[in-house]
Structures are given as C-alpha cells and as structure tokens.
Amino acid sequence: MPVRVAVIGGGVVGLMALKNFREDGFDATLYEGRAWVGGLWKYSDDEWLSTAENTKFNSSKFRTAIPDFPFSKHVDDFPTASQLYEYLNAYCQHFDLWPHVKLSSRVTSVKRSGERWALEVTPNDAPSYTAHYDKVAFACGSFTSPRQPTLDGIDQFKGRALHAVNFHNPSQFEGQNVLVVGAHASAQDVVAQLSEHASHVYLSHRSGVLLLSRYSSDGSVYDRMPPLNFTIFTLYLQTWFPNLFTWMMDSLIGMMAKKSFPTQPASLGSLLTTKAPSIAVAAPLIASELYPHFESGFCEGVPGIRKISGPRSIELTSDRTLDNVDAIVYCTGYHMTIPVEMESSLNPYAYPGSSANLYRQIFPLHPDPDIRNSLAFLGQAAVPLPGFAQHEMVSMCISQVWRGKSRLPPLAEMQRWHRNIQAWRADQTKRYQAQSTFYPVFVPMADHLAWMDSCAGLGMRRHFGLLSRWTNWEAWKFWWNDRELYNLCLTGLSSPAIFRLFDEGKRKAWAGARKQILLDNESVKLQQQERQKQLQAKKEI
C-alpha cells in the first residue's frame, strides 16, 4: 500500500512538493485553506497575505521557473502576480494535481496518533473531520504572523496605523501624507499603489538598502548573470575564505546598484547617507517600481522613528519631526511561525520569530526517530539564488529521505549541525549588525547546496564541481558527447532546467531538460536584443 502523505499549504512550495511526492510514488494529498492554489499570488483582501495587484516577481522568468515547467513565451520578462497565478494553475493541470488538491480545507491541528498523524481538517462549508497520514509536509510559508513594531507614543497618534497585510483599497488614503515603515518589497508595492491617491509618502528605514534595476545597462535582465561557473567558484570561496567572499559579493552588488540608478535625487534622503547592510544578512531591493517615485519627489526617504510626539507628529532618529502624517503603514515583515495547532515538542518555533529547531531547516530535532522521518517543514531555509528551484530541491530531498534513498544522520549529528548554524548566525549578526527580518531563513549557501545536491541526487557537483569535474568519468563523458550543452551549462544562463538534467537514481530527470536549457539561453539573448531596440527607440523620440 502506498505511503500516505499530507501537504499543508497550496502555494508554489506546496504544489511542487505535491508533484514531487506523487512522482516518487507517494499517495499525496494537498490541503489549502483558501479557495484557490497559488497562495499569495492571487490578490485577496482576507486576513492572509497576498500580493498587491501591481506586484511583479523579483527574478526573471528565465531564472524563476520550476525546473521542469517553463513559463510561456508570452509571460513578461518579470512575471506579474496574475501571470504567476495562471502559471501555477497550469502547473496543476499539466501534472494532473487537481484530483489530489482539497481547496477551502484548512488544517487546524496536527497530532501524533499511534504510528500515524491525525489531521483536523475544517472545510469552509462542511463539518470538521479527521484524516490520517503516514507523513506530513508543512508548506505554510513564512509570511503568516505580521511583525509590527511598538512605537513609543503610538497611543497619541490620531491617524490610522496598519500592517501591510491589511493594506487594501489605497483610495482610502486620498490626499493624505503616509509614513511607510520599512524599505523592501512590500514597501515598494504600497508606495506604488499610494502614488495614485496619496499626497506624499515618507519611507522610513533603520538601515540603508541597495536599490537594483530589473535590467542591466546592456538591456539584459539583471539576473542573467552570474553563470554556473562563477557560482561554483563563489561556493568554494565561501567555504574557505568566507570574509573575502562576502567582501567580493558586497562590492559586486554595490557596483550593480550604482549602475542601476546612476542619478541620486535628493528625495532619497537618508537612503543616500545610510550604509546598506551586507549581502550576508540582507537582500538588495529590486526597485524599478519604487525609484521613479523618488525621482518625482512623491516619495522621500527618512531615517528610523524615535517616537510619536503628537496626534500627527513623528520624531525621527535624525531629530527631524514630521508634523503632517495622516497614516502609518508597517512594511516590517513577518515572524516565522507555523499556523497550525500542534504539541510544543513538534512545533519548530518556541515563539513567533524564534530560530527554527530543525535539522537543515527542514526536519524536526525530536528524540523519536519515527517523528524525525515523517514530519518536514518547507520554506524555512533560503540562499541568495533566484527563483523557485531551490525550494523544489527541498521537497526532492524530503521525498528521497522518506523513500529511504537518502538517510538522515543520527540525532546527535543533527543537533551538532543545529548548534553550528546557531553559532554561525550569531557571528553573522554581530559581524554585520543584522536587522533584516529576511535573515532568519538564511543558511550557509555552500553547505546547503552541497547537502541538497547529495540528498536529492542532482548530480551537479559530480558534473560541474570546480575539482570533481576533472576526476569524474561521467563529467568527461558528458563533455565529450555534448560539448555545446556542457559549456553552455557552465558559462551561459543558469537555466532552472539544469537541476533536472541528470539521473542519479533518486529524483527523476526531465527528458526535456537539454532542449529547455538551449531554449532558455536563446530566449534570454532575444530578450536582450528586444530590450536594446526599445531603449534605442526611446532615445530617438
């Protein structure tokens, strides 16, 4: 009898997990509390996070795609929220996932029942019921518990204060002066929506942020580079010379930021004078939708908030006071939580925002080996690589562990890894003065990718490793038989399809991977040429 697996959450991570589990022979079912799949990529005004109607994905379609499901050529260079929603529905259709998806069915609790898991499921229009499974994978996302600062003196503020998760209908801010707290992706969406209604926006931030354009000066999408060869080199550099690696990456990203927006309007304010944190602890902002509002003067960068000093007055850390603020919107991120009731020994977060008590940010550090091998959490780890592929690799790893093709180490070794990751985070936090809410999901890139490569059976290191490619007969055979593809994999666009190229006896390879890698590289060249034509046409007007 097939092993029964429950996937909780129908966003992109949950859908990829469902597909991979079923592909590997599990009897997997996905539960989603909303009436649709795609999670936050469908606009909604309910209590859960959703994208704004104007949101674009931060990485290009050439790097974003699920490895064995490319985007249509008609999708924008940077997919819109609606295009991503359509894409994920098409993914379900293509891989025949719909019969295994239960919509409007929220899982409210997960409990151990003998040797199985008991899920309490609450449908929107029917009585609750209990379903039993052998394995459970949580794909609830990391944006479930809004993080809202407590501002000194907020009780005397007479305007409206709300978190971005509750920001809907921007017309209600018509003619108002709005203070947006935070300077990242959600802040960009809020500012862009307010631009058609509000009078002025102050963008408050405690630390600087590097602003990048979606396109490089040569017309190519910004994430066309680096190629795999460079990425592999940086992984070795990060392992043996971590400080040099960080300095090099900070320098490269800094140069990209200067080229992205060479003019510096005065309205950037403190963003001009406040040094951005290191790439080691915070990601830059793809700011193509935000920057024009600095140029027009509609948006003004200001430093952090010291206190609320009156009904509409806010004192900043620079000693400046804003006397005309009508509303405050917190774009301050989310605490890491699992929004499902479970025993404290099973919940990886002791409290909202705490560090996850997980091995590899995936498997629970529980004394019972049966629990360690039947419970998993997706979306709790990330490295600074674009697109969905790294999160699909996590579900591949989980599937191979549950199949017995890969094995978890003994508990003591898992705990040792966890202690090391805690020490690494403490060191990074102190060294780079981390304040970013994105930081809790960061893991060391070299270690994380090496483990996933081995656990999922990707074959990347064997074929492309800086040293191993020279000592591996399979790599030499690949180079000899298909030199064009081999060289393109190393020096061309890092197509997501490369992660489905090799069959290592674990996760399934994709027969269309070679063709897609070639097509992605050709498509990104055509994109650059088309962009250059558009830029030239603008110059001639």
Q: CATH number, domain at 190?
A: 3.50.50.60
Per-residue pLDDT, 438 = 46
> Are 360 and 444 part of one and the same domain?
yes
Q: Which residues pair with 161 in a beta bridge?
A: 328
CA 293 to mean position of chain CA atoms = 25
Task: Tell me if 237 is assigned to some domain.
Answer: no
> Are 403 and 267 part of one and the same domain?
no
Which of 219, 253, 297, 321 is closest to 534 using CA atoms? Answer: 219
Rounded to whole angstroms, how far apart are CA atoms 343 and 532? 57
* Domain that includes residue 381, residue range: 4-144+335-456
Alpha helices in 241-290 (DSSP H): 242-260, 270-273
> Are 179 and 190 part of one and the same domain?
yes
Q: Indicate the residue among 456, 474, 507 that finishes a domain.
A: 456
> Are 421 and 349 part of one and the same domain?
yes
Rounded to whole angstroms, how far apart are CA atoms 84 and 75? 9
> Are 267 and 178 part of one and the same domain?
yes
Rounded to whole angstroms, how far apart are CA atoms 501 and 97? 23
> Are 342 and 325 part of one and the same domain?
no
> Are 188 and 167 part of one and the same domain?
yes
Task: Tell me if 252 is assigned to some domain.
Answer: no
Task: Tell me if 537 is assigned to some domain.
Answer: no
The answer to whether 43 touches 50, Cβ cutoff 8 Å, is yes
Give me the tens of pLDDT residue by residue for the chain, a chain 541 residues long: 899 999 999 999 999 999 999 999 999 999 999 999 998 888 777 767 677 777 899 999 999 999 999 999 999 999 999 999 999 999 999 999 999 999 999 999 999 999 999 999 999 989 999 999 999 999 997 777 888 888 999 999 999 999 998 898 899 999 999 999 988 889 999 999 999 999 999 999 988 888 999 999 899 999 999 999 999 999 999 999 989 999 999 999 999 999 999 888 888 887 776 788 888 888 889 999 999 999 999 999 999 999 999 999 999 999 999 999 999 999 988 888 898 999 999 999 887 767 889 999 999 999 999 999 999 999 998 888 889 999 999 999 999 999 999 999 999 999 999 999 989 888 888 888 766 544 567 888 999 999 999 999 999 999 999 888 888 899 999 999 999 999 999 999 999 999 999 999 999 999 999 999 999 999 999 999 999 988 888 877 6
Per-residue pLDDT, 541 = 67
Q: Indicate the residue among 289, 309, 332 that finishes a domain.
A: 332
Task: Tell me if 232 is assigned to some domain.
Answer: no
> Are 276 and 351 part of one and the same domain?
no
Q: Which residues pair with 5 in a beta bridge?
A: 28, 135
> Are 316 and 340 part of one and the same domain?
no
Rounded to whole angstroms, how far apart are CA atoms 484 and 482? 6
Task: Tell me if 239 is assigned to some domain.
Answer: no
> Are 369 and 267 part of one and the same domain?
no
Q: Give how far Cα 163 sits from Cα of 53, 75, 149, 332, 424, Å.
A: 17, 31, 10, 8, 31
> Are 271 and 160 part of one and the same domain?
yes
Phi-psi region of 111 (alpha: psi -120 to 50; beta: other; left: phi over 0): beta
Give the 3-state secondary structure of residue 423.
helix
Task: Tell me if 177 is assigned to some domain.
Answer: yes
Task: Tell me if 535 is assigned to some domain.
Answer: no
CA 428 to mean position of chain CA atoms = 20
Per-residue pLDDT, 229 = 94
Per-residue pLDDT, 437 = 47
Task: Tell me if 533 is assigned to some domain.
Answer: no
Per-residue pLDDT, 440 = 67
Per-residue pLDDT, 499 = 97
Which of 66, 96, 92 is closest to 79 using CA atoms? Answer: 66
State how many domains the chain has.
Answer: 2
Q: Indicate the residue among 332, 360, 382 that finishes a domain.
A: 332
> Are 110 and 172 part of one and the same domain?
no
